[in-house]
Structure formats: structure tokens, C-alpha cells
Structure 1
Amino acid sequence: MIFVSSEDSLNAIMEIIRNTLPPTTDISQIEYEGPEIAVYTKNPKILEDNGNILKNLAKKLRKRIVVRSDPSVRRDKEETANYIRTLVTDESEITKVTFDENMGEVTIEAKKPGLVIGKLGANLRSIRMETLWRPIVVRTPPIDSKTVKIVRHMLKTERGVQKEILLRIGKRIHRPVIFKDTAIKLTALGAFREVGRSCLLVQSNESTVLVDCGLNVGSPTEPFPLFDLPVFDIDSLDAVICTHSHLDHSGMIPYLFKYDYDGPIYSTLPTRHLSTMLQLDYIQITEKEGKICPYKKGDVKDAVLHTIPLQYGEVTDIAPDIKLTLHNSGHILGAALVHLHYGEGAHNLVVTGDFKFQKTRLLESATVNFPRLETLVTEATYGGKKDEIPSRHESEQELVNLINTTLMRGGKMLIPVLAVGRAQEIIIILEEMIAKKRIEAVPVYVDGLISEATAIHTTHPEYLNKELRDRIFHQGNNPFLSPFFTQVDSSNARQDIVEGGPCIILATSGMLQGGPSVQYLRGLSDDPNNTLLFVSYQVEGTLGRRIQKGFRDFSIQDARGRSQAVRMKLDVQTIEGFSGHSSRSQIMSFIRKVKPKPERVLTNHGEAAKCVGLASVIHKRLKIDTRSLVNGETIVLR
């Protein structure tokens, strides 16, 4: 067997590029840049004028190619900034122009990025042609986002480091294939016959990838994936793919960098922002509670710098034998179904992560069309026989009724919500219901991470459903900017709310595992006129789950860390219809409609009985080979 290095592979690629592109292109450098090949040229206008040359070259190499100008030919930065501001209409409201000399990119931050881009990208083309800088356009958040600022600052100040990271990643991705016969196996490291610590290990002869790496927030004894299994070797990892930002899927990713993982994280852009927010908050809460956090802020920063954001539908090489494509899952902003294509069609694996097979107020329904599919891994959160979720219309009407009933008796409505997903869904509904006078215009308080998460939503409106996008872009009516909502950011303000009149409170955490929602619960629990309303899934072991089961006496830590006994007298209600998870019937409908039909289905992310029961009904009704794995179990896919 002849082994070829990544350098030899790059040399072969360089030879093809130099022989294909016109000599007048004047290529100065060719190098790996993560999954792409970067071509630096002193005459990029040649390629700009002949777009088909690059298309044909990319097709020939079966690689993604990005063209960058040689530093020696780029226009002066001040002149470039002035040119951009002169070219682009003032209505775009450009807020910042920054330059990355390492990548030859100019980042233009604007409140209306579409006007910066221009019709059919005309302005971007003009900027490239006239300045020889590669323009990147990003949105200025309509609501100020601390997280977006932090992430953008990290990327700006560590451009050189990130370029080195991408070079190392590129060498690993583009190494030659050694084994022609692809054998593939999947190992369950977490969230099989349980909810929490989602983690799948997928190995072939050539590569090793993790799909998700999460925490179990409800389990103090088994909070982490099974990293101690002999099959897991962090040094062999080619990539980590994050389906979405919730901590049970992203919460342990920084931990990998603590133990010297140096590979890429693949996710959507919203997931990078949202997971960073939740991970930093997890560190803060853990330290505040006097517990030991498994990683530090520096590990979160490493995760940000190693993240390669992908758009839905963008096919990307992540290993010599794997092409990755992310598709909309309908769960939360930026959440993705993961499609892994092995070899030359050797095997195709889809991991749903958490998904919603129904259009919601916030998002489009999950994608069902894939080029190829042999194995499907589906969540089973609501996969039980009795897990039928009410319609959105019924759920919204029930919400209106519960709020009105609570307000009429002079009470307060506390809705614990996950910062990402359910919070924004409820905000949109409440905004409409108050505007239409279906509920009284009482104060609606928003506490915890909700405002920060909502700000990130306003940064990425292109990921929202069509109606909401049209409302924001074309009607100029952004429900997230409504004056009906008041942000709360202090303990004193919370106490004033508890002692004040009727109101609605949205607060994190959604499962009452710390955060301001617990402080509100402590203050409101003694009044039977108040209502505690659950609108999201409560993981086994959390305080929220215990309350749902009927527990009314428990202890909560006060602001000084002292244990305080609480006896609840307030009304407790649950509305399942706002869940971002699919019901059993929706899961079955998804599997019936997914194309092509899978040969095998594996169930995960559900309590044991639900995973087993869902697997059984899929096999009986759809005649598909189905399994419900347990944590630590390995299955051969090919």
C-alpha cells in the first residue's frame, strides 16, 4: 500500500489549479482553509470576469474553492472603507467596517445588510473588483447582543490563530483516502433511552466524528457522555457536529478542548452564537452555586475559534470519506438535521437531533428530502403511546384562557421557559394576543437569558419562517421589539414584581434548575391565585419534573446559598402544544414522508419506555428494521 501525505495531496491540487487557471491569474499562494482550498492571486479580476472557470475547477477537483487577493494588490483600508460608504446607500445604516489582513476580507456590519449586498449581489461584486478585498456582510443586531459582540470580537482579534487552525483542519480533511472499502459503526455515548447528554460516535476505517456532545442537566450522578469507553479516543476525532445549541446537545463541547481537541466544530451560525451564550451562562451559574464546572471560559473561546459555520443545504467535506450537509430541523433557531454521506455512496446517515415536523410561529417544519438515506436516528422525546400533542390553535387558546383566569383572580402567571426556542415562541403569541386584546395588557416581564437569546434571534431573521421574515423585513413589524415586554435584570426588581400587581413573567431556567425562575417560584408559591405554567419538556430529575409529578414541598437555595423550605399553593398547569419536539404521530409522519425511505431506524433522546415503544411501532407499521440502543452499545451500519 502506498501512503500519500496531505502535502503531496496539496501539491497535486496545486498543479491542477495552476494548469487550469489562466497564467495571467498570477497565483501567489494556494493553501488549505478548513474544508476549502484558498487561492491567492495578484489578478483576481480575471476570475471575477470568468466565473465558469472556477465552477469547472471546483467540479474537477470536487473541492470548494475560495479566491483571495494577494496582500500586495489590495486597496488601502481607509480608501476601501470610504469607497464602500460611498457605494452603498445611507439607508443600509452601516455601523462598522473592519478588515482582516490574514484572509483579505472586509466585514461590513449594517442594520440592513440586503442594501449593502445590492440587487443580485451587485455591490459585493463592485467592492471585490474595485478594492480587491473580499466583502463579508453581517447584520447589526436590532437588539444589542452581548454574545454576538463577544464572538465577533474573538474572531476579529484572533484572525491569525484562526487561520492556523483552518490550515491544520484542512490538512486533516484533505488527506488521501487509504481504505477503499468503507466499514461504519455507531456507538451510543449518551441520550439513548434517556433525555440528556446527547452524544453519538460514528467511526469508519478512515474517520471518527461526534454528533453532539451534551450535558444531562437533571442528573448529578451521570451528567456527561461516556467518554471513558475504550472506543472513544479524543486524538482520533476528525470533527464534532452540533445539531443545536441546547446544553443537552452542546454543553460538553468546550470540555473537549480542555483535553486538547484541536479539530473543527460544525454547526449553523445561530448555533455558534446561542451555544456560546448558554455555555458561558452554564459556567456562571455553576460557579455561583459553588459547584465545579467541567471547563472554563478559555475552552469556550477555543470552541468558537474552531467552529466552521455552515448554511442549510451546504455540502462540505469534513473528512476524506465524509460529506456533511445540515438541514432545517424546525426545533429552535439554527437547529439542524445532520446528513453524513460516506465514500462514493457507501452509506448515508441522518441524525435528527431534536426536530419538529410541524410549522410553528417561529420556524418552518423539518426537512424530509435527502439525496440518499440508509440509516435514520430519530429522537423519541414524545415517542410514547399517549404522547399526542394538542394542536397549536388549541394550545394558544388554552394559554389565553389560563392567563385570563389567573389575571381575573388577581394572580400572576409564571412561565419558566428555555431561553432559546419556547421563550421566543411565547413572546410572539403574547404580542399578538395583547395587540388583539384577547388578553389584558398587563406588564409582561422577561428575565434571565431570554432577552439575550431574543437579540440573537433578531441577528439571524433569515432562519425564521417565511411569514415572520416578511413581517420583519417587508412590514417593518418586529414582534421581538414590541413595547409590551419589560426586561428584568436585578433581584430588587424581581422582588418588586413579586409584591406587585397581576402580570405575566417569562423566566429561565425552563426546568427550574436555578436562574430567576426559581426566585420567582419561591416568592409566588404561597398564593393560590398565582399560576405556574410549564410549556416545555421537563427532564427527569429536575425540579420542574418533580412538580409536574405532584410534589409540592421541596427546598430551594436562597440568594445567600441557604436552603429554604417551600410549600407550593399556587396552581400548576402544563400545555404540551408549544413543544419544539415532535409528537409520536409527527415522528411517524416524518418517517413515512422522508425520502428516500430509510433501511434502518434507531431511536434515542427519550425515556427508555418511549424509545423502545417507538422503535416497536415503527417496525410494525412501517416494516423498517428498527433498534433502540442503550448507552455504550455499538451497532455496525455497514
Structure 2
Amino acid sequence: MSSVDRQLEELEAEIKSEIPSDISVSAVKYEGPELVVYTRDPKKFAQQGDLIRQLASKLRKRITVRPDPDVLSRPESAREQIMDVIPEDAGVTDLDFHADTGEVVIEAAKPGMVIGRHGSTLREITKKVGWTPEVVRTPPIESSTVSNVRNFLKQERDERRDILERVGRQIHREEMSNDEYVRITTLGCCREVGRAAFVLSTPETRILIDCGDKPGAEDEVPYLQVPEALGAGATNIDAVVLTHAHLDHSALLPLLFKYGYDGPIYTTEPTRDLMGLLTLDYLDVAAKEGRAPPYESEMVREAIKHTIPLEYGDVTDIAPDVKLTFHNAGHILGSAVSHFHIGDGLYNVAFSGDIHYKDTRLFNGAVNDFPRVETLVLESTYGGRNDYQTDQEDSERKLIEVINEAHEQDGKVLIPAFAVGRSQEIMLVLEEAMRKGKIPSMPVHLDGMIWEATAIHSTYPEYLRDDLRDRIFHEDENPFLADEFNHIDGGEGERQEVADGGPCIILSTSGMVEGGPIMSWLRHVGSQEDSKMVFVGYQAQGTLGRRIQNGWDEIPINDRGGNGGRSNTLKLKMDIHTVDGFSGHADRQGLEDFVRTMNPRPEKVLCVHGDESSVQDLSSALYHEFNMRTFAPKNLETFRFK
């Protein structure tokens, strides 16, 4: 008998000793980080309101209780009883019964009303019918991504449960080594922005954190071939953690499955959906530009199938010697500061991912309240000594001035924007400005993936800023549904109509002007002297966006109009503006404040994900201000911390 089977036998015996004698336990299994308890008495379990919580506290494990399939009521009768329990205002749109696990997935416009205060309605459902309810939100804006992900995971339930059982046994295996050390190896994004990737190693475990591309440099990928990563084989990696969905952190995750990786990816639920959206688009763009994609779309589906979503604040075992906790990073939807607790109090490491320290219109500011952090791996995108961004109110005022000036000249405002994060931030600014009469009401055209990304934001309002979340819960106050917003879905013909029409605002991907529909908009309106182009996000070195920002007014552009697809140059006549207060990254002050307000502060800080001068400036400043050890590592360095 394996050590895991012995452990499960002991847990089953302990559970039986803790619960009333009239409640049966027929099986105990690991599924990923959760302990699943099967019972023939689910209704009695539900009647003991605090029983599961008490068991979880005593066993120090996340516990799910499921009914044995042969004691379930028929779905037809269960459906009626469930609908009797749930308030009508919850807006239930679907009930999906899964007899193999005894779960019923309830999709509703207002999941909180299905859950009830402290889970009271969920317990009432189980008391009535025995089925274990799982609740998901009906997207207020129809999202093909959310729908496709949910349908795919439903189709793959059997295989996914096999994956989770295998992962669960791996997490709870017996520790094999008596050594104690913690190492971080840098595989990318050191003294550069992009291709984020790190390996966190202990004697037991190797965890890959992020695996992205480098904007403007398709050939520069993380150093995955080194022995610390895939050099010793894909099974060398025990788990992957994804901090957020932007491609410079996520683009090459599906590549791992091409190389044979078969383990879990831990991230938040919205990051899982956004990763699917962005990586599939990444493949599409590569194909359109004549580049060989690094992996097939099937690998994206494998990545989604292997994803284990975690919520902010949940402490989760992901290895025999590692616990992971996600905290809001304030950067984009679902972005997470990833805190690793290693060993039995041995060491704590936090990876910031990308962070925004102050509240924005979209998100609450990044969380930095950890019980312990000895080492912090900190992004430094705006870590340079002069990287102080404009106050958000001043930024909004400046954007409104530019829009009003363009409107008075009968011109258009073209805003290259990242589909995820900056676009929704700008949409909120524009919606309020028009509602309050600060700018005239005019069409706001959303091109590329922006509308789909916005639909995903509306699906997960619990990840948004508190007041925005409350507005989205009430459909008639959802700012993303304002009449001015128009989804461009008619291709070149619709773009030409917009270009020939009156004043408007155009938000289009890509945010760094590296391909995508923004190139079409430059062809259509770039030569209009009365129009304006406004940069609202970071432009990495080597990107066309950075060159235009630096004064280029003749840009290479593909001419699809009968020139055989050859590259031409376009003379930009529109005014170019930069409004820098909308970045999803903390500026220099925000990064310093993030460290300053940590209590206790870390002993060591690795400054990463920034140009060479930015990481060195921030590293030096943190050393002098807080008297801590700081580093500006290069790629392929390994740091030992214990």
C-alpha cells in the first residue's frame, strides 16, 4: 500500500471518529488540493451546518462532501425542489446534473442569492435533494470564451477528474528528502520586459511561475531548455503557477504540454478564461503574419483542462512542502500576487507578478499583507528614478481635453489598448465623462478582442473594485452596457464607414501597435490631420508603439490594397499624445510604497520585469531606503535562500 493510500485510510478513520454515528462515509479521495468525502447521507451532513468547517479546521485540509451516486434523487424531481428553494430574483438560467460526482451546477445571474448568507441556501438545497450544488454566474454580456471553456470542461469531466486525482496523490505524497533549501532560477524578464518565467525549487518540488513571450521580439523566449526547467524532461516540473493572463506572462504555457508536461496550472478562474482567449488569438496573429505558431490550439485546451482555479486568500497545498496563496494584484482581471509558504515554516517567497498599488476604477489596489515574506520578487516596469506617473484624476482630465479638442475639429481619437485591463479602464472613464457631460456623447468603437474581454470582466465582478462590482450586479447600472459602446464585428467595411463618418473614439488592439486591427485603423485614419492617437499603456522597447511615441511619423505598414501584401510606409499626420496615468503597473512611488507598507518587510528583494536601468534604479533605491538586500538579476541566475 502506498503512503498516500495509508494516509487516506487514516483520514477516513479520523473523519468517522469525528462525525455522528448515523452519518456514513463510503470513500475518501484526493482531487487536486481538496479532500473529497463521499457519503450515503448527504442530507444529514448538510443538517450539521458547521461539521465540514470543523473537519477542515481539524484536518487542515480543504474538504468537499459529495453524495454516493446511488442515493441521489432523480434530476427531474430534484430540479423542482431546487427551484423552490432558490429565490426567483436569483435569475437561474440553467441546472446541469452530474450523477458521477453528485454535483448540480447552477448557473444564475445573481449567484449570491443562490449561495445565501454563509452558504445557507446551498445547505438547504443539499438537505432537500442530496445533490451537492456548485454555482456559476450567467455572463451579463454573452461571452463565447466563458461559454466555450465551461462546455469544454463539462465534456472533459471524466478525464479532468483523473487528472485531479493524480495531482492530489502527487501533492500529498511522502517527502523524499531530508535536505532543506529554497532556490529561484530566472528564465526570463530580468533586465527586460517580457518573457516572464521563474523556477522555484526545493529538494522535493519544482514550480514554474509564468511562461510568457517578449513583445516585439518573437524569437526571444524563456530559457526553458536549462536543467532547472525542461532540460531534464517535462516531468521535472511539479506545478505551474500563472500570475495573470497577459501574453508576456502566459503565451508559452501551452508549449509545456507540447513538450510532455502533464501537471497542474494554478491560477484564478478569470485568468484561466483570459489565458484561453489571449493564447488562441496569439496563434491566430502568428498565422496571419506568416509565422509558424509555437504550438497547436489543442495545447491551449490541454492547458485549460489542467488548470486548477484558486480564489484570493485560499491557502492551498500544491506540493508536499509548498502552500500557495493568491492575493489581488490590482493589475488586470484575476491578476495575483503569489505567496509561497515552503516547508513547516522554513521560508516564504512572494512573486508580485505585475501590480498596481493604488485603487483604480477597475480594481482595488494590490494586497501586500502577508504573515511572512523573506524574499520578494518584484516587478520593476516603472522602477526608474523618473518613472512617476500622472495622478489618475489628472490623466483623466488630460484625456478628456484631447477628446474634446478632436471633437471640436470633427476628428477622431484612436487609442491603442490592451484588450484586457486598460480597455475596460478607459471604457469606465468614457462612460462617466459622457454621462456627466464632460465630453459629448459619441460612438466608442471597440475593435479586436476588447468586447469579448469586457464580457469576461462582467462575468467575474467579484474580482473588480467594490463599488463597480455593486453596479454590475444591477444590470441597468452596468457601465459596460452603455449605449455609446459599439462592438466592431464587420471587418474592413465597417472600419471604412467609421473612418468616413463623424467624430468618434476608437479603442483597438494591439496595445503596443504590434499587429492586429490597430494597423488597419492606422491605414484608415492615420493620415487625418484633425484626428489624434493617444497612448494609455506601456510601450515596450522595440515595439512600433514605442517608435511612434518617440516621434516616428513614417511607419511600415502592410498594404492589402492590391500591392501583393508588400510592406509600404504610411505618413502619420494625426497628433500623438501619451497619457500615462492609466497603466496597470505601479509607478516608482507605488513600488516603493508596496515595499514600505509590508509588515514585516522582506529581507531580500529581486527586482525583475523592467528595462536594465529601471531594475537597477529600483534595486538601489530599496537598498538605501530600507536597508535590505536587493538584487537586479540577469537571466539564468540562481539564488539560494536557505
- Give the TM-score taking structure 1 as reference length: 0.97
User: Which whole-Å CA distance do the structure 2 matches of 1:582 and 1:75 have between them?
Assistant: 53
Partner of 1:497: 498
- Partner Cα separation in structure 2 for residue 587 and residue 334 of structure 1: 20
- Report what 1:314 is aligned to: 314
Whole-angstrom distance in 2 between the partners of 1:632 and 1:104: 48
1:619 pairs with 2:627 = no
The answer to which of 603-612 and 117-126 deviates more is 117-126
Q: What is the CA distance between 1:72 and its match in structure 2?
A: 0.7
Corresponding residue for residue 609 of structure 2: 605
Partners of 2:59 and 2:82 lie apart in 1 by: 34
Query: What letter corresponds to residue 36 of structure 1 in structure 2?
Result: E
C-alpha separation in 2, matches of 1:588 and 1:171 = 41
**1:24–1:364 Cα change, 3 Å:** same
Asked if structure 2 preserves the Cα contact closer than 8 Å seen for 1:100 and 1:159, the reply is no
Distance 1:53 1:115, change over 3 A: closer
Instruction: Please name the residue that 1:8 is paired with.
Output: 6
Residue 351 of structure 1 is matched in structure 2 by: 351
Higher mean C-alpha deviation, range 316-325 or range 180-189: 180-189
Shift in Å at residue 219 of structure 1? 0.7
From 138, 152, 155, the counterpart of 1:154: 152
Tell me which residue corresponds to 2:368: 368
What is the one-letter code of the residue matched to 2:544?
A: L
1:80–1:131 contact (8 Å) kept in structure 2: yes
User: How big is the shift at 1:622?
Assistant: 1.0
Q: Is the 8 A contact 2:44 2:127 kept in 1?
A: no
Find the counterpart in structure 1 of residue 441 from structure 2: 441
Partner of 2:235: 235
Report what 1:28 is aligned to.
26
Please give the alpha-carbon distance, in whole angstroms, between the structure 1 residues aligned to 2:608 and 2:268.
22
Give the structure 2 partner of residue 81 of structure 1: 79
Q: How does 1:49-448 map to 2 (within 5 A)?
A: 49-222=47-220, 224-233=221-230, 234-448=234-448
How far apart, CA to CA, are the structure 2 residues paired with 1:34 and 1:26? 23
DSSP-derived class of the 1:27 partner: coil
Deviations along 1:183-218, one digit per CA (max 9) or x if unpaired, are: 010000111111111111000001010111111131
Quick one: structure 1 residues 416 and 622, their matched pair in 2 at CA, closer, same or farther if it must change by over 3 Å? same
Q: Deviations over 1:126-147 (max 9, x none)?
A: 1111111111111111110000
Tell me if the contact between 1:272 and 1:309 (Cα under 8 Å) persists in the aligned partners. Answer: yes
Checking the alignment, whether the CA contact within 8 Å between 1:531 and 1:571 is kept in structure 2 is yes
Are the equivalent residues in 1 in contact too, given 2:265–2:303 (CA < 8 A)? yes
2:517 aligned partner, one-letter code: P
Of 132-141 and 422-431, more deviation after overlay is shown by 132-141
Q: Which residue of 2 aligns with 1:636?
A: 640
Letter in 2 for 1:540: Q
Decide which moves more: 250-259 or 20-29: 20-29
The letter for the 1-side match of 2:228 is V
CA offsets, 1:38-81, max 9 Å, x none? 11110123332334443343333322221110001111111112
In structure 2, how many angstroms separate the alpha carbons of the residues matched to 1:185 and 1:461? 37
Distance 1:447 1:21, change over 3 A: same
- 1: distance between equivalents of 2:204 and 2:57? 23
- In the TM superposition, residue 26 of structure 1 has moved relative to its aligned partner by 2.1
Cα distance in 2 between the residues matched to 1:475 and 1:486? 18
Tell me which of 40, 44, 47 is aligned to 1:46: 44
Q: 1:152 to 1:474 in 2, by over 3 A?
A: closer
Q: Percent identity?
A: 46
For 1:443 and 1:627, how far apart are their aligned partners in 2? 48
Contact 2:375–2:604 under 8 Å retained in 1: yes
Deviation at 1:567, TM superposition (A): 1.6
The one-letter amino acid of 1:538's match is Q
Aligned residue identity for 1:16: E
CA offsets per residue over residues 490-517 of structure 1, 9 Å max, x none?
Answer: 2110111112222110011111111111
Counterpart code for 2:371: P
Aligned match for 2:596, one of 592, 608, 616: 592
Distance 1:182 1:50, change over 3 A: farther
Amino acid in structure 2 at the alignment position of 1:178: M
Report the equivalent of 1:555: 556
Code of the aligned partner of 1:228: Q
The 3-state SS of whatever aligns with 1:202 is strand
Once superposed, which parts of structure 1, at least 4 consecutive aligned residues long, lie more than 4 Å away? Answer: none
Structure 1 distance, partners of 2:565, 2:64, is 54
Q: Distance in 1 between matches of 2:414 and 2:41?
A: 62
Find the partner of 2:583 among 579, 584, 591.
Answer: 579
Match of 1:453, SS state, is helix
CA contact (8 A) 1:102 1:163 kept: no
| C-alpha deviation, 1:475, in angstroms | 8.6
For this pair of structures, how many residues does the alignment match?
635
* 1:485 alignment counterpart: 485
* Counterpart AA for 2:227: P
Q: Distance in 2 between matches of 1:214 and 1:179?
A: 31
Q: Distance in 2 between matches of 1:192 and 1:614?
A: 13
SS of residue in 2 equivalent to 1:175: coil
Alignment of 1:522 onto 2:490:
no
Superposition deviation, residue 181 in structure 1: 4.1
SS in 1 for 2:26: strand
Superposition deviation, residue 22 in structure 1:
3.9
Query: Following the alignment from structure 2 to structure 1, what is the Cα–Cα distance between the partners of residues 218 and 151?
Result: 35
